[in-house]
Amino acid sequence: MDTFIQLTIDAVTLGSVYALIALGYTLVYGVLKLLNFAHGDVFMVGTFIGYGVLQELGGSSSPKLSVWLIIPIITLAAMGGCALLGITIERFAYRPLRDAPRIAPLISALGVSFFLENSMQLLFGATPRNYNAFNFGNGYLYLKGFQIHGVTVPLLRIVTVVSAFVLMVALWFLVNKTRTGKAMRATSFDREAAAMMGIDIDRVIVFTFVLGSALAGAAGVIFALRVPTTVNIGFVIGLKGFIAAVIGGIGSIPGAMAGGLLLGFAESYVQGYISTQWSDLYVFSGLILLMIFRHQGLLGRPDIRKV
Amino acid sequence: MTDSTPHGYHSTAAEGPAIGQDEWVARHADAVVLPGILGVAERRLRRLPWWVWLVLFLAAFSIFPVVESSGYVRLVAFDTVLYMLLALGLNVVVGWGGLLDLGYVVFYGFGAYAYALLDSPHYGIHLTTIASVPLIVVMGAVVGLLLGLPSWRLTGDYLAIVTLFALQLFQTITTNWQHVTGGPFGILNVDPFDLPGGHQLAVQHGGIFAVSYLYVALAFFAVVFVALRMVNNSRTGRAWRSLREDPLAAEAMGMPVNWLKLMSFSFGAAVAAFTGTLFAAQSANVFPLSFYFVALITIYTMVILGGSGNQAGVVLGALIIGPLLEALRSADKSRYLFFITLVLGLLFAWRRSRALGVVAVATLGFGFAVHAIAGAIHSDWVAGEHTGGFAGFVDHWVVAPAHLARWLSPVSYVGVIVAALVLTLLRGRVRLVLLVPTLYLAAFVWENVMLSKPDAARYIVLGVILIVLMILRPSGLLGERRVEIV
C-alpha cells in the first residue's frame, strides 16, 4: 500500500510535468499543424534559466529571499525566457516556411532542436545542474507536508502539482473564455477562413508560441526542482511530452492534460511494479500500437481527408 | 542564348514552390544556357551518360589513397563512403518514396549489431562474411518491412512520430539488454571481413587504417548506386515518384500504394543494414550511441543539402558534410574553414555589388581598430594563444583575451545569433553597416568560444545548415525544384 501511494504521488508529479509539455506541442500543432520538435529543448533551456536565476539569488543553501518568493521568481523567469525563445524560433525558423511543403518546417524543427541542444552544450558544458531544493530551509520542502496512510506527501510535491494545475486551468480559461482564445480556436479550425474573418493570424501564432513555450519553461522549473538537469534531457523528456500529447490526441487541449497524467501513471507504475530499466520499452511499444490502431489519440478528432 | 535575364542565371532560390505551374514548364524555364565556350562545354558535359560520371568519380576516389598516405585521411575517406551509402539509402525513403522516416538509423544500427553478434567472440559465432553479410541485408530488409508497416495506416507527421519512437525503442533495447547487446559498453572485438579462403581482411596495417576497407566500401557503393538507379528507372521507381507527389492520386490510379511504401522502406533498410556491417567490421566495436539522434541528423543534413531525390546530389551532400564534420574537430582546420566560408559567403551574396568590397575592407579595418583599442586598454585582452602562419594573422586581428570571463561566452554567443537574426530583417544600407560588427563578432565567437569545444561547435554548424537550407533552398544543391500543383 505504501509503495502504491508513493508511486501515485510520483505519477501525479511526473504526469503534471508531461502534461505541461504536451500542452505546448498540442497548442502549436493545433494552430500550425506542425510537430515542434524543438519544444523539448525549449523545456531544457527553461530548466537552465531557472537554475541561473536561482544561483543569482544566492542558490538554495543561502537564499537572499524567502523560498515562497524564490520559487515563483525562478518560474516566472523561466517562463519569460522560454516565451522569448519561442517567439524567436517561430519568427526565424518556422514563419519563412509557413507555405512550404509540410516536410520543410519539420526538418527545420529538427535543426532547431539540434542547434539548441548543442549551443547549450557549448556554453554550459555537460555537467548536471542541481537546484538542490532539499537545502531550502534545511529540508523544509521535503520533510514538511501531510500524511496519507503513513506516507508523507512532501510540500515540494504539493507546490509543484498545484502550480501545474493552476497553469492548466489558466490556460483552459484563456483558450475558452477570452477573445484571443476564440481567435486561436478559430485559427486552429481553419486558418484561411479565420484570416478572412479578420483574425490576425501572425499574432495568434506568436501568441500560441508564447503560451506553449512559457508552459514548457514552467514545466522545466517544476521538473528540475526534483531532478538534476543536463543539456541533453530535452530530447527524451520532449519525446515523452510529445507522447502525452499524442495519447490524448494531438491538437486537443484536455487531451494533452489527460495524456500527460496517463503517461505519468503508466510510467510510474511500470517502473515501480515491473521494471525500471524497461519502462521506456513498454511505453514506446504501447505507443506505437496506439498510433497504429487509433492514431487520432484518445480524445482527438479523426482527421477527414478532403480531396 | 539571349535570355531575358541579363546574367544568364535565374535566381531560383528563396522563391518557394510556384503554385499552379507545371513541373515540366518550371524545369524548362530553369534550363538557361551559359554564353560562349562555357555553354558549349556545359552542353557537352551534360550529354555524357551518367555511368561515365560514376566511373570518373570512382576512379578519382580510388586514386586518392595512392596520393594520400596518411591513415587518418584514408579513414575519413572511408567514413565518407559509409555516409554516402547511408545517404543513398535514406534517399530511397525520403527522396523517392516521400516518407519522413526518422527511424532510419535503426536499420544502420541493426546491421552493425547483427554483424557484431554473428561475427565476434561475444557468442563465439564466427560466420564467414560471404554468408553473414547477405543474411544481414535480407534481415535488414525484413526489419524495414516491419517498421514500414505503420505506414499503411499513418501518413506524414504520424509516420514521423512512430519512426521516431522506433529510434528511441532501439536505443532503449541496445542500452538495456545487457547480456545480448552488451549495453552501453557495446560489443567489442568484432571480426573483420574475411575472404572465401579463410583469409581475414585486417583492419589495420602497421597501426594505421588498412586501405583495403576503403576499396571494399567503394565497391559496395558502386553496387548500391547502380542497383538503386536501376530500381528508380523501373516501374517501381516511377510508382514511387507518383506516390511522393500525390499518394491519393496514385491510389486512385490503382497503384498498390501500401506495397510501394513498404518496398521503399525495405530498400532503404537493406542499404543501411549493409552499411552497418561494413561499419562494424571496420571499427571492430559497436556502441548504442553511434546509432542515435546525432547520426540521424547528420544523414538527413547530407540528403537535404545535396538535394533529396537526386542520387548524385545526396552523394555530393555526404561528400561535403562528412569531411566538414571531421575538419571541424581540429582548431586549425576549422579556423581556415570559418574564414574561407566567410569570404565565399560574401562573394556569393554580393556577386554584382561593389558593397562587398566596402564591407570586407571595413570589417578588416574594424578588426584592427578593435584589436588596437583592446590592446591599449589592457594587454591581457589580446594575450590569447599565439600561433604562427595564417593563424598569426588572425591573432592580430581578432581580440582573444587571455582569460575569458564567465559571462563573456554566453553573451557574445547569444549576441552574434541575435545580430545575425536581426540582419535578416533589415534591408539596404543599415544592413551593410551592421554587417561589419556582426562579422567581427562572429569571428570573435568562433575564435574564443567555438574552437575550444569542437564537439558542440560542429553539431551547431550542422543544425544551422539544416535550418538555413530549409529556408533558402529546400531542394538542396542538385535537387529538383518541387512544384506544388494546387
Q: Does B248 sit within 8 Å of A307, measured CB to CB?
A: yes
pLDDT interval class at B399 (50, 70, 90): confident
Q: Residue A305's pLDDT is what?
A: 60
pTM recorded for the entire structure: 0.87
Percent of the residues in chain B that have a pLDDT greater than 70, as a whole number = 86
How far, rounded to the nearest angstrom, does the alpha carbon of residue A281 sit from its chain's CA centroid?
22
Mean residue pLDDT of chain A comes to 87
pLDDT digits (tens, 9 = 90+) for B85-132: 999 999 999 888 888 888 999 999 999 999 998 888 778 787 787 888
**Interchain CB distance below 8 Å, B172 and A278:** yes
How close B335 comes to chain A (CA, Å)?
Answer: 17
Cα Rg for chain A, rounded, in angstroms?
19
Q: What nine digits make up the cell of A302? A: 479523426
Pairwise CB contact (< 8 Å): A118 & B459? yes
Cβ of A239 within 8 Å of Cβ of B168? The answer is: yes
Q: Which residue has the higher pLDDT, B32 or A294?
A: A294
User: How far is it, in rounded angstroms, from Cα A17 to Cα A11?
Assistant: 10
Nearest to B413 among A93, A123, A246 (CB): A123
Q: Tell me the residues of chain A between 51 and 110 that have a Cβ less than 8 Å away from chain B.
A: 88, 91-93, 96-97, 99-108, 110
ipTM surpasses cut 0.90: no
Task: Write the CA distances from A168 to A72, A253, A258, B165, B421, integer angstroms.
Answer: 16, 9, 11, 27, 33
Q: Do A121 and B453 touch (CB under 8 A)?
A: yes
Q: How confident is the model at residue A76 (pLDDT cuts 50, 70, 90)?
A: very high
Range scoring the smallest mean pLDDT among A201-205, A281-285, B194-198: B194-198
Inter-chain touch A122–B450, beta carbons under 8 Å: yes
CB-based burial, B158-184: b 16+ in 10 Å, e otherwise? bbbbbbbbbbbbbbbbbbbeeeebbbe
Q: For residue A111, give the nearest of B176, B409, B470 by CB distance.
A: B470
* Candidate from A104, A236, A288 with C-beta closest to B470: A104
Q: Is the dihedral of CA B458, B462, B465, B471 positive or negative?
A: negative
B285: its cell numbers: 566495436
The stretch A162-189 carries a mean pLDDT of: 90
The pLDDT value given to residue B5: 40
> Which CATH number is B50-327 given?
1.10.3470
Q: Measured between beta carbons, which residues in chain B are less than 8 angstroms from residue A277?
A: 176
Higher-scoring residue by pLDDT: B93, B181: B93
Rounded Cα–Cα distance for residues A56 and A60 (Å): 10
Q: B304 and chain A: CB distance < 8 Å anywhere?
A: yes
Res. A33 pLDDT band, cuts 50 70 90 = confident
Domain range summary for chain B, segments of one domain joined by +: 1-47, 50-327, 333-452
| Contact criterion met (CB < 8 Å) for B460 and A307 | no
Chain-chain contact of A92 with B160 (C-beta, under 8 angstroms)? no
pLDDT in tens, B419-453: 999 988 888 788 888 888 888 888 888 888 888 88
Q: Burial letters for B390-424: b for 16+ Cβ neighbours within 10 Å, e otherwise?
A: eeeebbebbbbbeeeeeeebbebbebbbebbeebe
